[in-house]
Structure 1
Amino acid sequence: MTDHIREIRPKKLFIKTYGCQMNVYDSDRMADALAPHGYEPTPDMDAADLIVLNTCHIREKASEKVFSELGRLAELRKEGRNFMVGVAGCVAQAEGEEIARRAKGRVDMVFGPQSYHRLPDLIARAERGEMVLETEFPEEDKFAHLPAAKKEVIRARGLTAFLTVQEGCDKFCSFCVVPYTRGAETSRPLEQVLAEARTLVDAGVRELTLLGQNVNAWHGLDARGRSVGLGELCARLAEIEGLARIRYTTSHPSDMSDELIEAHRDNDKLMPYLHLPVQSGSDRILKSMNRRHTRADYLTLIDRIKSARPDMAMSGDFIVGFPGETDADFEQTLQIVREVGYASAYTFKYSTRPGTPGATMDGQIEEAIKTERLAALNQLITTQMRDFGRSVVGRTLDVLIEKPGRMPGQIGGRSPYLQAVHMAGSEALIGSVQPVLIVAAGNNSIEGKIVTHAERNPVSVIESQHPAI
């Protein structure tokens, strides 16, 4: 009788997501896994019967943020609120036993990113009074056990979607916790990825971003048991009618294969915007980071990519203040930024992560020096981002129209380079890709004018002819 009541009286699910795009994907799949069991997502934490904190372990003091949130939730329980609490994600994976010990009585479930497909069972165990701790790396394929989202749910999430194709990392960069929280590199089978992609596109998704901690290491098996690479996966995805755009993130320079570079040349649905982290411009620091490439390797790779796709724009990641980094090492980082010319970048001060080699290295950098270097790097990156925005003024870009604008008669979308684009137009165009003449560039967005049929000149459309930028 209890199960029947649960089915006809939906419970409310609130998931607070920290960190990367894969956590966003994981949170959506948790909601999908719980939907058949009577849980409906709510944006209101105060209305929730189940609260899940989907955590990220990349940044410093990640676990303390979790304990702080658990303390706040404990106060709500003292006020008479009745809800269940789960801690998921990479902090749960790395520090699950500590969370279960320190937050005893405040948390009902602690589970890692490889266990969320079993969430209905974990909830049932918690309802029986068990303190659930699931941080093993199971051999089973979690994706094979996850139900597909309903069409109306996918539509509500928007015209763009994330799709995890690869998890884990075997590179063991000395600053990074990913191999310990996400495990070894694994690739989803080709047909499984294609099936999920078709489900998303059938529900109206127009752009897919393929996700992986080291996504260009993806080598999935096809129906014949043959291993294929990311370039071939993108080619197969491009065959799906209705899918307009393909992106992928995050990549490692060591896995940027000839096949994938050629895919950027040959596949017009593969967007000319590539996130390729380098982390430092100093060979000495790159070696200490265990990055497996040199400064010259990276610059040569950039040249090869831009030769294949002249309109390619680059994004990157940079860490300043890694142990042993001198002023000269940091200047090498600034110089590689100048040489590449980034459309966008993510910059970080190094923070020690427990269990990583970097945490015990000699030469830890003072916080004040890290702050000074980060400010200098950000100033350079901000200038490059502004210059890139200005560089597309006067060009015609294909823009995916995604939503109504803030002003009446205005619509908004994204350029091939992930720039927010605002323009006048009808909401009937939402979901279509339109040629847009860029007329102005601001700090965080660009403005354009839809090119009418009479004005259109296909040669000028940047995605069609791959002109250099």
Structure 2
Amino acid sequence: MNEEQRLQSQQVKTVDPSDKKSEKDYSKYFQRVFMPPSMKDAKRRGKEAVKYHEDFSIPEEFLGMGKGRKFYIRTYGCQMNEHDTEVMAGILMQLGYEPTDQPEDANVILLNTCAIRENAENKVFGEIGHLKPLKMEKPDLLLGVCGCMSQEESVVNKLLKQYQYVDMVFGTHNIHRLPHILNEAYMAKEMVVEVWSKEGDVVENLPKVRQGKIKAWVNIMYGCDKFCTYCIVPYTRGKERSRRPEDIIQEVRQLAAQGYKEITLLGQNVNAYGKDFTDMEYGLGDLMDDLRKIDIPRIRFTTSHPRDFDDHLIEVLAKKGNLMEHIHLPVQSGSSEILKIMARKYTREQYLELVRKIKKAIPDVALTTDIIVGFPNETEEQFEETLSLVREVGFESAYTFIYSPREGTPAAKMKDNVPMEVKKERLQRLNELVNELSAKAMKKYEGKIVEVLVEGESKNNPDVLAGYTRRNKLVNFKGPKSAIGQIVKVKITEAKTWTLNGEMVVEREAVEVK
């Protein structure tokens, strides 16, 4: 038995936290299989070649496991988590389970978690507490915690000590092992823990249950090697591993054949795609150029790191067609000093030069971003640099956050010396500026006709339809239900800060703008 087979045979561990022997066994197991975040160790990773597995299938002995049973998955966090949920739902349905949107009707409940911010963790622990009465009422209910939080040592320890009624805990690298984990959970009397510190494999042919028939997510790579000092993702998602282009292209062709109108390419650092290939030079620009030739109306990608946004990608995006003129480009701070402490590996000037190149190649591009305020040591002058960069770029929207330390990251060891009242005041000033710029960008649409991919009824009014423009602006308008899933022309009659109102027009009236 080789080392990988030995580890594989020992992945699932049942733990009774009240039992001293079990606790001792767990301690040994935990040290071997799960390692807490270590910058030093993590930066040495990547020596092993990425292994590709094309042959995922449900083991025969598990087929029918879910017959007569239902599952419920609650998802927290980013699009990557949503995509993981689609895969888990696909596996569960192949096992014979049926989906339900009511937790009380479920035989298996999975909480697919996010570790980006402390508030996300608090929500999950709160939900686990709310589910305790249901678990006590239905002893045969399996309750599982998975996703990014499960890759954190402190979280697993807390679950073991305070939430012993949780049946299973598994990480982001273990989703393809879900049938085995469920089987062990049914047989075990204690909590089943399967969290691999080892990552590096790419598993293809995983089943998926897509959420909707109009837009789809396509994961093109996993992990991140950037190690920004505030971010837990490189530890919870592992090293960068790119899927082979032929597998991605085949998946997108299949989605096009099924009638999907839009796909979004996903990656924690999506424009680092292909940098780990050793047998060829092929990056995101090459992939987008190949996907551009597929007959699917819209292609997007997220999320980018400015450091990996190269000239070839800009050149390809400038060809437009089914490549959208919207780029989400997180800056995080407008101060070179703060960017250095964040380990973003670019300066304010380099970011602005990248923006200049993008705007020159794609004059009508819509740029959006992420910004953190109140990072350790941020001065008022440095925050003002962020405000001036936002004005100079003219972001059309931004996700803004108060800095929140994540245990295990280098920034968590820094003195958090910006008072909370100062952080809140800076966030308010930043949001006022972002709102102003968004409203200004939206105002330009009044009286114009735009293309809208209609996603469904408005959340606030079933008589109103809602969809997005090429530049990712939300449009609400009245129209026939038959327009859902189609790309239609809409004349904008009113611009709000974040949304547009309009009226559907017939084709002969349309003089299209983006």
Gaps of 5+ in 2: 1-60
* Selected match of 1:322 from 375, 388, 392: 375
What is the 5 A alignment of 1:131-280? 131-138=191-198, 141-147=201-207, 149=208, 153-154=209-210, 157-219=212-274, 225-241=279-295, 243-280=296-333
Larger RCO (CA within 8 A; separation ≥ 6): 2
CA displacement, residues 336-362 of structure 1 (integer Å, 9 cap, x when unaligned): 111111111000000111111111123
Which residue does 1:89 correspond to in 2? 147
In the comparison of the two structures, how many residue pairs are matched?
452
Which residue does 2:157 correspond to in 1? 98
**Moved beyond 6 Å, runs of 4+:** 2-5
* Selected match of 2:513 from 436, 440, 462: 462
* Selected match of 2:415 from 338, 348, 362: 362
Gaps of 5+ in 1: 464-469
1:454 aligned counterpart, secondary structure: helix
Contact kept? 1:117, 1:142, Cα under 8 Å: no
* Selected match of 1:421 from 475, 492, 504: 475
- Displacement of 1:449 after TM fit? 3.1
Q: Which moved more, 1:429-438 or 1:307-316?
A: 429-438
Contact kept? 1:409, 1:426, Cα under 8 Å: no
CA displacement, residues 38-85 of structure 1 (integer Å, 9 cap, x when unaligned): 112211111111111111111125444333322222222223453101
Amino acid at match of 2:374: G
Distance 1:318 1:425 in 2: 37
Which residue does 2:43 correspond to in 1? none
Distance 1:68 1:408 in 2: 32
Amino acid at match of 2:167: D
Which residue does 1:467 correspond to in 2? none
Distance 2:471 2:271 in 1: 19
Shift in CA distance, 5/240, structure 1 to aligned 2, threshold 3 Å: closer
RMSD: 2.4
CA displacement, residues 226-278 of structure 1 (integer Å, 9 cap, x when unaligned): 3311122122222222x110111110000001111011111321111111011
Which residue does 2:340 correspond to in 1? 287
Contact kept? 2:144, 2:167, Cα under 8 Å: yes
Which residue does 1:49 correspond to in 2? 107
Distance 1:424 1:66 in 2: 38
Shift in CA distance, 8/183, structure 1 to aligned 2, threshold 3 Å: closer
Structure 1 position 306 matched with structure 2 position 359: yes
Structure 1 position 108 matched with structure 2 position 108: no
- Displacement of 1:110 after TM fit? 0.9
Which residue does 2:404 correspond to in 1? 351
Which residue does 2:25 correspond to in 1? none
Contact kept? 1:110, 1:134, Cα under 8 Å: yes
Which residue does 1:449 correspond to in 2? 503
Distance 1:403 1:61 in 2: 30
Distance 2:405 2:275 in 1: 34
- Displacement of 1:7 after TM fit? 5.7
Structure 1 position 128 matched with structure 2 position 179: no
Contact kept? 1:189, 1:220, Cα under 8 Å: no
Distance 1:128 1:392 in 2: 60
Distance 1:4 1:416 in 2: 43
Which residue does 1:466 correspond to in 2? none
Percent of pairs with identical residues? 43
What is the 5 A alignment of 1:71-86? 71-80=129-138, 82-86=140-144
CA displacement, residues 111-167 of structure 1 (integer Å, 9 cap, x when unaligned): 1111111111110011110532222145564532512x4xxx54x623111111122
- Displacement of 1:404 after TM fit? 4.0
Amino acid at match of 1:110: V
1:352 aligned counterpart, secondary structure: coil
- Displacement of 1:4 after TM fit? 7.7
- Displacement of 1:369 after TM fit? 1.0
Distance 1:205 1:284 in 2: 44
Distance 2:402 2:310 in 1: 30
Distance 2:101 2:495 in 1: 33
Which residue does 2:24 correspond to in 1? none
2:282 aligned counterpart, secondary structure: strand
Contact kept? 1:71, 1:106, Cα under 8 Å: no
Distance 1:65 1:420 in 2: 28
Which residue does 1:437 correspond to in 2? 491
Q: Which moved more, 1:227-236 or 1:159-168?
A: 227-236
Which residue does 1:25 correspond to in 2? 83
